[in-house]
Amino acid sequence: MPQIVWQGFTDPIANKPYVDRLVAYLNEIADPGYEFGFSGITPPDYYVHRLTELRCSVQALAGAIELERSGVDGIILGHFQDAGLWDLRSTLSIPIVGLGESSILWACQLGYRFGLITIHPNFKEWHEQQIRGYSLDGRCAGVRAMSTSVDLFMKAFEGDDDAAGDVESQFETLGRELVAAGAEVLIPAGGLPALLLGTRNAYTVDGAVVLNANGIAAKQAEVAVKMRAISGSAPSRIGTFRQASAEAIEEFVTRARLLSTEA
């Protein structure tokens, strides 16, 4: 049975309400014969800052390398910012799907302009840079930021209607701003809001489609695994994704283990 693992920047214990619901959802929508698992990091991403993104990406990449060695068939880097995505794709031989990259590219098939709504103001500039990196700034109507926290989402996943309502209210207010600016597709920019809001059936805000980012990443990962089996397709190794040497990979994993141990 092909196994695809969601490599997150969250912790299966500290963020259990989210992780449990995510894994259940991924397996609910999985194609027959496919299984989804989860791998996290400790401590999770608490501080929503570039510095934390760097630390978490090192741990997540090391975890993904270990997953390939254990025999999994594909990995979703389940952090919308795609921190470390290209580095990971330049390292592993199995398919790697980025939550942010896959969602943004799919949004371009549903409408000409999309808008991102992230969970915290600290991520706004990161997402703007991310969109420029994918050469899609001309298709983006803007990036907006809610004022939420990981704890607020955990409450929502535990069934707190007030917490869920707070997230929904902020999302829809910002979504209407983006629609007024020309967005035809709204992307909940993060695994947390994507699971809470994006999985709703036919959800729209002022007519704009709200993207199911987690579902899209899962299905693209399944397709990537199937295409590798059919044609042996892999990233080009002559440029951006030139593969790291075995020695470089081992050095990285060794140093990353020290970081995780000290944490």
146-195 confidence digits (pLDDT tens): 999 999 999 999 999 999 999 999 999 999 999 999 999 999 999 999 99
**CATH number for the domain including 238?**
3.40.50.1860
Q: Are strands 114-118 and 140-145 parallel, antiparallel or unpaired?
A: parallel
Residue 41 pLDDT grade (very low, low, confident, very high; cuts 50, 70, 90): very high
Secondary-structure percent of the chain, ordered helix, strand, coil, rounded to 5: 55, 15, 30
Tell me the three state secondary structure of residue 102.
Answer: helix
| Two tokens, residue 30 | 């999985």
Q: What are phi and psi of 98, to 5 degrees?
A: -95, 135
pLDDT in the model for residue 126: 94
Domain span holding position 125: 101-213
Beta bridge partners of 75: 5, 96
Instruction: Beginning with the edge strand found earlier in the chain, give each strand of the sheet holding 35-39 in spatial order.
Output: 35-39, 3-7, 74-77, 96-98
157/233 same-domain check: no
| pLDDT, average across residues 23-51 | 93
152/255 same-domain check: no
73/105 same-domain check: no
pLDDT in the model for residue 47: 81
Residue 232 pLDDT grade (very low, low, confident, very high; cuts 50, 70, 90): confident
pLDDT in the model for residue 29: 98
Chain centre to alpha carbon of residue 38 = 12
**Up-side HSE of residue 27: CA atoms within 13 Å toward CB?**
13
133/195 same-domain check: yes
Residue 260 pLDDT grade (very low, low, confident, very high; cuts 50, 70, 90): low
Residue 213 pLDDT grade (very low, low, confident, very high; cuts 50, 70, 90): very high
CB atoms within 10 A of CB 15: 23
121/203 same-domain check: yes
Chain centre to alpha carbon of residue 52 = 16
| Two tokens, residue 16 | 């259990």
66-95 confidence digits (pLDDT tens): 999 999 999 999 999 999 999 999 999 999
Please name which of 46, 45, 37, 43 lies closest in space to residue 19, comparing C-alpha atoms.
37
Spatial distance between the Cα atoms of 215 and 115, rounded to a whole number of angstroms:
18
154/26 same-domain check: no
226/195 same-domain check: no
What's the number of domains the chain is made of? 2
Write down the pTM of the prediction.
0.94
pLDDT in the model for residue 171: 98
94/162 same-domain check: no
Spatial distance between the Cα atoms of 263 and 43, rounded to a whole number of angstroms:
7
Domain boundary at 213, 231, 253, which? Answer: 213
| pLDDT, average across residues 24-49 | 93
145/67 same-domain check: no
27/105 same-domain check: no
106/142 same-domain check: yes
**CATH number for the domain including 195?**
3.40.50.12500
Q: What are phi and psi of 39, to 5 degrees?
A: -130, 130
117/207 same-domain check: yes
